Amino acid sequence: MKISRIFTAKDNVIDLINEDYNILPVLSRFSIPLGFGNKTIEDVCNNAGININVFLLVINYILSGNLDKSDLRHISATDLVDFLHNSHDYFLLYKFPHIRQNLLNALDDSYSDVNPMITRFFDEYVSQAHEHFEYEERVVFPYIRNLSTGEKSNYSIEEFKKHHDELGEKLSDLKNVILRYYTTSMPNKMYDVLVDLFNCELDIKSHTIIEDELLTPMVADMECKKGTAK
């Protein structure tokens, strides 16, 4: 559920988390260490070397769904690219392996014929996500960084939009298969997996929204200003 509150630099980080604990994975993707005490958002960002304007833009947009376009003037597209790069590492190096291990632990031995199909389905999703992220790391992000320094290119953000497929569909299919058809003698473990899958789907959705609704318009504006728009 979207909230109406807009957080500022002087707000307490614990208040932010209590407002909606689903923001925790976003804090993780900013590589913010735990041990908040009574620190404000400004304190935490300064201590971690995080651009506070990027942090506030991202968390407020995710929590409220509202965007004050004047806020975009205080950040650069490369600031967002740095956050999105960290997000890729978060998913590939932590989130996906974590879910896979929990999934393996939850599979019931009595379904030895079905279990490999479940695992393969998840692995195919991770492979799809890896390919998706790899394209952005290899093509899109370097283009944006080069554009910010004035370097010319035949590429444009319109190409990115063409390649930006939805990542959540296969994950949703896996959830539905487990919910509808997978009977297990260890329901608690599989329920934990389902929570992981639902949370991951939300994380991926917020990641995609940031790329589509924040990054892409910023880069398109850069292209227009530099006369490289196609």
**Which positions ≥6 away from 108 have C-beta within 8 Å?**
115, 183, 184, 185, 186
Phi-psi region of 65 (alpha: psi -120 to 50; beta: other; left: phi over 0): left
Read off the pLDDT of residues 135-187 as tens digits, 9 standing for 90 and up: 999 999 999 999 999 888 899 999 998 877 777 778 888 999 899 988 888 79
> Is a pLDDT exceeding 80 seen at residue 228?
no
Residue 20 structure tokens: 């909606």
CA dist 55 and 21 (Å) reads 16
β-partners of residue 12 are 40
**Which positions ≥6 away from 20 have C-beta within 8 Å?**
3, 63
**Which positions ≥6 away from 5 have C-beta within 8 Å?**
19, 63, 64
> Shortest CA distance to 103 belongs to which of 169, 218, 191?
191
Q: Any idea where the domains of the chain sit in the sequence?
A: 13-72, 76-226
pTM of the model: 0.89
> Is a pLDDT exceeding 80 seen at residue 203?
yes
Q: How confident is the model at residue 229 (pLDDT cuts 50, 70, 90)?
A: low
> Is a pLDDT exceeding 90 seen at residue 38?
yes
CA dist 215 and 154 (Å) reads 19
